[in-house]
Amino acid sequence: MLLQLLFLNFNYMLRNIFILFFSFSIYSQGTLMVDSEKSSLSYDAKHFLHAWSGVNDNISGVIVYDKEISKIAIAAKVVDFDSGNSNRDAHSLEVLEALKFPIIKFYSDDIKYKSDSLIITGKLEFHGQTKNIIVNSKLNDSNEHVQINGSFNVIPTDFLIKLPSFMLAEIKDLLNIKFDLYFKK
């Protein structure tokens, strides 16, 4: 409960970050905000004994959009990931040092179109580290929304995360991240 109270005001802070991030380049372009009712971000993790997933349905984000996406910024609070097992989630918060590094961020202004796909080269901020990544995604641009979905891999030790272990074996050093993002027009 206390942890959730500490993070309540982050949504307001995230909106301000996105506004500042894009304020210098949106004079002739529009911004579309994430539709948090529809959007989600998830991870898949494995240990030799079992595999599990966690989902975050409380995503914040914005794109700069003028018939094409020119910039994107996405943020998710670590505390909002739910694996369906409260003990595992509490341990994840400890391992990921959620009080010290509460937010995962991705941003890019290098977006290339390829038919109905996007190749997004950007920066992922996770656990106090920033890494360049390339994300391939599908694009669905309708009258009501812009939808971007896809997946990419994260190697936790690249972000200086000490892998947790169970029965003397660490979890696999690979997280598969899936996203399904809707931006309201």
Give the per-residue pLDDT at 122: 97
Tell me the pLDDT of the chain averaged across its residues: 87
pLDDT at position 137: 97
Distances, alpha carbon 74 to alpha carbons 23, 39, 43, 48, in Å: 16, 11, 15, 32
pLDDT in tens, 122-144: 999 999 999 999 999 999 999 99
Query: How much of the chain, in percent, has pLDDT values that exceed 70?
Result: 84
Query: What is the Cα–Cα distance from 55 to 170, expressed in whole angstroms?
Result: 22
Check residue 45 and give its pLDDT: 94
Residue range 89-107, pLDDT digits in tens:
999 999 999 999 999 999 9
pLDDT in tens, 160-183: 999 988 777 888 999 999 999 999
Tell me the whole-structure pTM to 2 decimals: 0.82
Q: Which two tokens stand for residue 23?
A: 């304020």
Structure-block tokens of residue 88: 């595992």
97 φ/ψ sector (left φ>0, alpha ψ -120 to 50, else beta): left
pLDDT 10s digits, 52-65? 999 999 999 999 99
In sequence order, which residues have a C-beta less than 8 Å from that of residue 170 and are 6 or more positions away? 47, 163, 164
